[in-house]
Structure 1
Amino acid sequence: MAVRGASILVVDDTTVNQVLLRALLEKEGFQVEVADSASEAIAHVIKRAPDLVLLDVMMPEVNGFEACRQLQKLPTMRDVPIIFITALDDRQSKIKGLQTGAVDYITKPFARDEVLARINVHLNLRTARLQLLQEDKMAALGQLVAGLAHEINNPISFIHGNLQHTQDYTHNLMALIDAYGAAYPEPPESVRQCAEDIDLAFLREDLPQMMQSMTAGTKRIRDIVRALRLFARLEEADCKAIDLHESLESCLLFLNHRLVPRKEFPAIEIVRQYDVELPQVTCYAGALNQALMNVIVNAIDALEDKIQEGGELNFQPNLKITTHSISDSSVEISIADNGIGMSETVRSRVFEQFYTTKIMGRGAGLGLSVAQQIIEEQHKGKLLCSSTLGQGSEFQIQLPLTQTSV
């Protein structure tokens, strides 16, 4: 399967080879950067890591074998495949290249079909490896969250359950004090002094408010635990009927640290327009949670990019989430932001594997691609995108209410 949109770094000191490979790869939809030497390649990689490197063996100053060693020392290159391109066809050179860390060899003169086949094989292997790593991370996260939710839920349930009794007892004690005051309007000096020392008037006013605050606090923790349990369905493999609003809220809870005001960013306003009559959707809950999370993260990234650009005075970032039925058999979730937006060129490629316009460290360009795969291939739905550069983007997730094969 061809991996359009992947970025490839060609490291070759021969201009003819650079031009030939660039023309061949760009025609197939790859993003291509070129470097003349190992030092220039390292400078490229530090700025932005590619998805694959084509590295010439015979270069002046630093040969390809040493360049491969230097590149692999960089943290961002740990999972990036390196393919040697060379006129050397002897067995020892190939073994040395593979021992150095390269994954394959392409010999000169280039054969178009061979070059593309080898590149696509290793890009697809990298995609599969990264997706497995992501699935493992999400499954581990789900197990961790489920464990934490269980450990938190037991003591907080005990506290929450006893708070109502504590409020009742407090109310009874206050009633006793009132009855005593009515029976003995002129209490002994020792009782009067004690009431003054403990500031009984303030205590009577503040204690009920304190109990209400404690009750509200434990309720909030119980709500968080419930959301954690919902999100922890990541490891579940079976189809089941779920409340999409609960899934959305659990994702927002996990991303709350990016929604609240921070040093560099103002708070992101969440605008919810939920259809209260939205039916439940039968789906793979864990996978769908991951897709929703990826789309929301992408929207937050777009908002932060616009804030960092600083072009709009008093910019108020907001994320609008809308749900509604679009037919008797399907529903739609809309996730819209007023962030940086996309040009039509970027929008048309936004679901391509490895395609990203984000700075290094912000992701490998798999988030929206994975979301599309989960929604369209696994759930037979649709993931659509519309965007206006400088104004924001909207992602529409359309899902059938039931899955044909469970």
Structure 2
Amino acid sequence: MRNLKGLQLPKFSQPSQKKSSQGWRNRYLTLFLIIGGITATISGTVVISYEIVQGLILDKLKQNALLTVRRESQEIDWWLSIHKTELKTIAHTSSIRSMDWSIVAPYLKLELERIQEFYGFALAEPDGSYYTTKIGTRSHANIKDRKYFQKAIAGETYISDPSVSRNINVTFVPMTTPIFANGLNTGKPIGVLIATISIERLTQLISLLKYGEGSYAFALNSAGVPIVHPDPNLMGNIDKPAPSFLEAKDPNLAKLARQMTNNKTDIELIKIDGQWVYVAYVSLKEVDWSIALVIPRSQLEKELKALNLLVTVLSILLGAAILAAIILVKVFETTRIRAETEALLNRLTKRIRASLNLDEILDTTVEELGNMLQLERVSFGWYNRHQKTLEISWEYCSKGLQKRLGLFYLDSPIDLATRLQHSKSVRLSPVNSHSRNSQESEHLKLKNLCYLAIPIFINTERQGYLLASAKRKFGGKDETQLLQAVADQLAIAITQSHLYTQTQEQVKLLDQTLTELKRTQSQLVQSEKMSSLGQLVAGIAHEINNPVNFIYGNITYANEYIKDFIKILNLYQQHYPEPALEIQQEIEVTDLNFIIEDLRRILDSMKQGAERIRLIVLSLRNFSRLDEGEKKEVDIHEGIDNTLLLLQNRLEDKITVVKSYSKLPKAECYPGQLNQVFMNLFSNAIDALTSSEIPEKIISVKTALLEKTEGRFVTIAIADNGPGISPEIQPKIFDPFFTTKPVGKGTGMGLAISYQIVTEVHGGKISIETPSSGGVEVLVEIPIEDRVNANNRP
């Protein structure tokens, strides 16, 4: 702000230059007290804020560490569960159920080659004697006293604590499952199948759990004994007991072991061996073990260093601010004479700076200056140096004068800026007046030395001018300084207004970008889920398909064999019509004729069931096809039918599906993604019909071939006769995260992802209509081929 000491304001009384020294000292003391109070308040606020922020950051870091342990423990649980399932599957095979080691041994060797995680297999008989793949023959040892054998022979699949082999003196983790004679998990087990996992493999898995330098993981069994630990001397097993952490001399370690053996999940800061560490621990579900991750305190809290540095810098800045405030108070004493004069300017400046709206800023400026200085006119205009024009956009006029707004030019070869700079007489004519004989009232006159024109320099192509005119001589030193100070503040305000406008545009752009990022993130998560689901479904379909093909293929032979058997039986009845009395009685008891008739129906039913399973497996495999970056020619009807087949359990008998298919060529598309669209649309229709009370619930599917100038399209119309969608929410229906379902029932991403798949991925269209009959109809258009191929089509 410009120095306005001694500035004389016209028509205003000059403030008194004499102040009571006592009054000033009182104000001086009050000011210091205020500064002290503010300093104390800020310091307290900083300390409290630091404690709160530190706690929040630390809680976040602890939760991240605990999440890491949970995630890794879930991976280990998943790993153990898979191997339990594999072991049970092997135990159910006919080779294992034979309990013949000559048959079992080759089969188990092949399984060892397939499942390399297993160290070896053993086949135990009910008396505890067993065969093992490591020695190839019956072992001289007996495992009847082993808990894992006892659990399995009682009918339970069990994972034991580590133990030492009685044959090869190797530490391993036994995994056992019962063997049943009928393969249906009923009756008394006829033996036990044992798979072993080396302790080194388990140690390797748990050792992968890390959280920066100095961290390590260990595992305890239900008795608190370490079964995996970086220090091998602390590890124990069934045959080699080790001290339990529950009885540790360190009370913190004993307390931690109690928490772990009680299957607790938490993260704690404790002192172990004289070192403060964070310990995050969780329990496993598949086995009675707990896993803990030990993280040095300095490692977890290293991200707090930036916060501590920030607090230090803020403390230094606060001290500097306090020192600066004291200096400013002393300087203020020397400038108090100018206080009243600057107050007038400050009032105007505050009015100018109170808004970021350019119209409001300039209206306030011209009004305040005109009223404060009692001027005839105060105007603000934009000067175009290339066209030599002045555009007056804001103006204050004293009572009785008419405003002169618009675009003006100087009807003279003399430069307008030069005349304004020296306050020379100026007669400006409106640009829209093309005649020199225009009315005099339309012109803007500035009299010689009766006005001031202050240029305002801003970073634009146009230059601003603040014009102030009076009926008297105007433009003295004091008035020039005042207007120049106002012009300086006005330049800042205009610049800020422009920046604010640009910032608002950037904010809108950022909001759009953020929304897009959120939508993209959710779509990526959904795509990853669908990819994982597709892999899982494809694997399940493959595993189901093999035994189903075996059953389906053998039913035909079984049917022929039974026909031959019945034929032979009929021949016996023809040639030996009077069988033995015992045979006749057995025929009457068993109702042989009924068995013959019912056997045919049973085989037909089995064949239909196997055919049904084959169709479901085929649908799963078709639905779960993973796109490999290229479009494929697929049958749209096949994708719709597969989707409906997968949703058959939701349709039941309450919802009727009416299909109206046209003859369609194969379309180039991503079948997996398109199936996802069908799944979302049918699921929404089923949800709408399920929640409605209408007696007859119908979903209709129509397809057609559509010819357009840009190519051929397949149209799919999926409609339901449910409650429909209100017109108010139809424009939002494809917005990300928008849903009308209750919390927890929908994510609001189904239709948004479907919209992207149809429009962006396939270049098609998707829309929602409300038929006159009620309900909702979703129209999907998918191009049959890309536009280049369509344009080249003869």
- 1:231·1:250 contact (CA, 8 Å) conserved in 2? yes
Q: AA paired with 1:269?
A: T
Q: Which residue of 2 aligns with 1:395?
A: 778
Task: Decide which of 702, 715, 720 is 1:322's aligned counterpart.
Answer: 702
1:179 matched to 2:568? The reply is: no
1:144-186 deviations in Å (ceiling 9; x for gaps): 0110011000111011001001001111111111111111222
Q: Which residue of 2 aligns with 1:224?
A: 616
Superposed displacement of residue 393, structure 1: 0.4
- 1:230·1:250 contact (CA, 8 Å) conserved in 2? yes
Q: AA paired with 1:329?
A: R
What are the residue-to-residue correspondences of 1:245-260 with 2, within 5 Å? 245-260=637-652
Unaligned runs of 5+ in 2: 1-51, 61-309, 315-354, 357-499, 790-794
Distance in 2, Cα, partners of 1:247 & 1:405: 25
For residue 601 of structure 2, give the secondary structure of its aligned residue in structure 1.
helix
Superposed displacement of residue 331, structure 1: 1.9
Larger Rg: 2
Q: Which residue of 2 aligns with 1:271?
A: 658
What are the residue-to-residue correspondences of 1:373-392 with 2, within 5 Å? 373-387=756-770, 391-392=774-775
Provide TM-score, normalisation by structure 2. 0.36
Query: CA, structure 1 residues 297+236, in 2 after alignment: closer, same or farther (shift >3 Å)?
Result: farther
Superposed displacement of residue 389, structure 1: 9.1
What are the residue-to-residue correspondences of 1:145-164 with 2, within 5 Å? 145-164=537-556
- 1:343·1:388 contact (CA, 8 Å) conserved in 2? no
- 1:381·1:400 contact (CA, 8 Å) conserved in 2? yes
- 1:385·1:394 contact (CA, 8 Å) conserved in 2? yes
What are the residue-to-residue correspondences of 1:20-99 with 2, within 5 Å? none
Distance in 2, Cα, partners of 1:65 & 1:387: 52
Unaligned runs of 5+ in 1: 1-63, 73-90, 96-107, 262-266
For residue 363 of structure 1, give the secondary structure of its aligned residue in structure 2.
coil
1:365 matched to 2:748? The reply is: yes
Distance in 2, Cα, partners of 1:405 & 1:285: 21
Q: Which residue of 2 aligns with 1:304?
A: 690
Q: Decide which moves more: 202-211 or 177-186.
A: 177-186
Q: AA paired with 1:209?
A: R
Q: AA paired with 1:183?
A: H
What are the residue-to-residue correspondences of 1:339-350 with 2, within 5 Å? 339-350=722-733
Distance in 1, Cα, partners of 2:702 & 2:560: 42
- 1:268·1:317 contact (CA, 8 Å) conserved in 2? yes
Q: Which residue of 2 aligns with 1:352?
A: 735
Superposed displacement of residue 137, structure 1: 0.2
Task: Decide which of 151, 158, 168 is 2:560's aligned counterpart.
Answer: 168
Q: AA paired with 1:291?
A: V
1:266-316 deviations in Å (ceiling 9; x for gaps): x222122223x32221211111111111111221222233x2xx4x4xx22
Distance in 1, Cα, partners of 2:629 & 2:530: 13
Q: AA paired with 1:247?
A: G
Q: Which residue of 1 aligns with 2:677?
A: 291
- 1:340·1:389 contact (CA, 8 Å) conserved in 2? no
For residue 361 of structure 1, give the secondary structure of its aligned residue in structure 2.
coil
Q: Which residue of 1 aligns with 2:521?
A: 129
- 1:335·1:395 contact (CA, 8 Å) conserved in 2? yes
Distance in 2, Cα, partners of 1:187 & 1:143: 61
Q: Which residue of 1 aligns with 2:595?
A: 203
Superposed displacement of residue 385, structure 1: 1.5
1:313-356 deviations in Å (ceiling 9; x for gaps): xx222211122223383221110001110122322332222332
Query: CA, structure 1 residues 219+391, in 2 after alignment: closer, same or farther (shift >3 Å)?
Result: same
Q: Which residue of 2 aligns with 1:51?
A: none
- 1:340·1:390 contact (CA, 8 Å) conserved in 2? no
Q: Decide which moves more: 148-157 or 379-388.
A: 379-388
Distance in 2, Cα, partners of 1:387 & 1:167: 54
Q: AA paired with 1:339?
A: G
Distance in 2, Cα, partners of 1:398 & 1:114: 36
Distance in 1, Cα, partners of 2:570 & 2:578: 13
Q: AA paired with 1:166?
A: A
Query: CA, structure 1 residues 144+235, in 2 after alignment: closer, same or farther (shift >3 Å)?
Result: farther
Distance in 2, Cα, partners of 1:375 & 1:361: 26
- 1:341·1:389 contact (CA, 8 Å) conserved in 2? no
Q: AA paired with 2:631?
A: C
Higher relative contact order (CA 8 A, sep 6+): 1
Q: Which residue of 2 aligns with 1:7?
A: none
- 2:541·2:621 contact (CA, 8 Å) conserved in 1? yes
Superposed displacement of residue 115, structure 1: 4.0
Give identity over the alignment, percent: 37
Q: Decide which moves more: 173-182 or 323-332.
A: 323-332
C-alpha RMSD of the superposition = 3.7
Q: AA paired with 2:769?
A: S
Task: Decide which of 205, 215, 224 is 2:607's aligned counterpart.
Answer: 215
Report how many aligned residue pairs link the two structures: 307
- 1:342·1:389 contact (CA, 8 Å) conserved in 2? no
Query: CA, structure 1 residues 376+121, in 2 after alignment: closer, same or farther (shift >3 Å)?
Result: closer
Distance in 2, Cα, partners of 1:199 & 1:236: 59
- 2:548·2:614 contact (CA, 8 Å) conserved in 1? yes
- 2:771·2:777 contact (CA, 8 Å) conserved in 1? no
1:116-162 deviations in Å (ceiling 9; x for gaps): 34433332221111111000000000000110011000111011001
Query: CA, structure 1 residues 120+398, in 2 after alignment: closer, same or farther (shift >3 Å)?
Result: closer
Distance in 2, Cα, partners of 1:236 & 1:361: 33
Q: Which residue of 2 aligns with 1:38?
A: none
Distance in 2, Cα, partners of 1:231 & 1:161: 25
1:214-234 deviations in Å (ceiling 9; x for gaps): 000000000011001001113
1:71-95 deviations in Å (ceiling 9; x for gaps): x9xxxxxxxxxxxxxxxxxx77xx9
Distance in 2, Cα, partners of 1:345 & 1:121: 25
1:187-224 deviations in Å (ceiling 9; x for gaps): 22122122123210110110000000000000000001
Query: CA, structure 1 residues 346+338, in 2 after alignment: closer, same or farther (shift >3 Å)?
Result: same
For residue 780 of structure 2, give the secondary structure of its aligned residue in structure 1.
strand
Provide TM-score, normalisation by structure 1. 0.67
Distance in 2, Cα, partners of 1:403 & 1:297: 29
1:14-73 deviations in Å (ceiling 9; x for gaps): xxxxxxxxxxxxxxxxxxxxxxxxxxxxxxxxxxxxxxxxxxxxxxxxxx989x99xx9x
For residue 664 of structure 2, give the secondary structure of its aligned residue in structure 1.
coil
- 2:724·2:770 contact (CA, 8 Å) conserved in 1? yes
For residue 237 of structure 1, give the secondary structure of its aligned residue in structure 2.
coil
Distance in 2, Cα, partners of 1:405 & 1:231: 28
